[in-house]
Amino acid sequence: MVKLITAAERHEAKVGDWLTSNYLFSFADHYDPSNMQFGPLRVFNDDLVSPNSGFPTHPHTDMEIVTLVLDGEITHTDSLGNTTKLSPGNVQRMTSGTGITHSEANESDKEAHLVQLWFLPNKRGLAPSYEQLRVDFLNSKNKLVPLVTGQKVLEDVVFINSNSTIYHANLGQGEDIAFKTFKIRKVLIYILEGSLIVNGVEADKNDQVRMEDQDVITIHATSASSFILVDVPAVEANY
């Protein structure tokens, strides 16, 4: 199965005059029972946060939360005592586990662009924890750069308590990448910029391609592109 979901099919949500968010799955007050998750991937939001604003302190439990800042800067503060700046190229993972509170603020005069992915963890009741790493993924060329994984030990990659991996790639016009997968896995590609042909399916900016029962994912850039690839187990986590 190779399924194209267009940018227009995302759910756009506006919060006051400070947040524009596009949900790839059911989230907050947007509920679509046919689009709840993809393997353990439960949330994928593409957010624009206005200057001098942000998410106030709020709680989470039993979720692996990954934040990638693409442009601008976000200040993270949490109940573990962390206060950090997330700038473009930073990768952050927060294990909410038994409970954590945090806030995310854009304290600058420039709009911040980030994507946030939530995964159901391998098991519930984990101790809350935090990890942040700078990975030079925004400047890479024609290769998949692993950012977060719980599948295997890799250097310079953030750990996640999920049998999943997040990659980012910049692909020049006319270039190709092949990603080896297995029929017991699922793959989601979300296009940040440009246009691709993914296993024969044409996709443009902010489109997503969801794939199951594949052996190889072939990706061809019809224009200079950047995208996120998420590799997850096919088994749904339901808790």
Task: Enumerate the domain spans of the chain.
Answer: 2-233
| Pairing of the two strands 145-149 and 158-159 | parallel
Q: For residues 149 and 159, what is the distance between their CA atoms, to the nearest angstrom?
A: 5
pLDDT of residue 155: 72
- Residue-wise pLDDT tens digits, 58-79: 999 999 999 999 999 999 999 9
- Residue-wise pLDDT tens digits, 89-113: 999 999 999 999 999 999 999 999 9
At 175, list the tokens. 């270039």
- Residue-wise pLDDT tens digits, 166-175: 999 999 999 9
Tell me the mean pLDDT per 10 residues along the chain, length 239: 97 94 96 96 98 93 97 96 94 97 95 97 96 92 96 83 97 98 96 98 98 97 98 77
**62 within 8 A of 125, measured Cβ to Cβ:** yes
pLDDT of residue 152: 76
At 207, list the tokens. 């489109």
pLDDT of residue 214: 97
Angle at 233 between CA 227 and CA 34, to 5 degrees: 80
At 14, list the tokens. 């506006």
Q: For residues 99 and 128, what is the distance between their CA atoms, to the nearest angstrom?
A: 7
Q: Which fold has domain 2-233?
A: Jelly Rolls (2.60.120)
Contacts 24+ apart (CB under 8 A), 2-5: 2/198, 2/199, 2/200, 2/201, 2/209, 2/210, 2/211, 2/214, 3/209, 3/210, 3/211, 4/201, 4/202, 4/203, 4/207, 4/208, 4/209, 5/207, 5/208, 5/209, 5/210
**136 within 8 A of 97, measured Cβ to Cβ:** no
Q: For residues 80 and 176, what is the distance between their CA atoms, to the nearest angstrom?
A: 42
**226 within 8 A of 171, measured Cβ to Cβ:** yes
pLDDT of residue 183: 93
> Nearest Cα to 228, choosing from 2, 69, 120?
69
**225 within 8 A of 195, measured Cβ to Cβ:** yes
Q: For residues 152 and 163, what is the distance between their CA atoms, to the nearest angstrom?
A: 9
Please provide the size of the chain in residues: 239
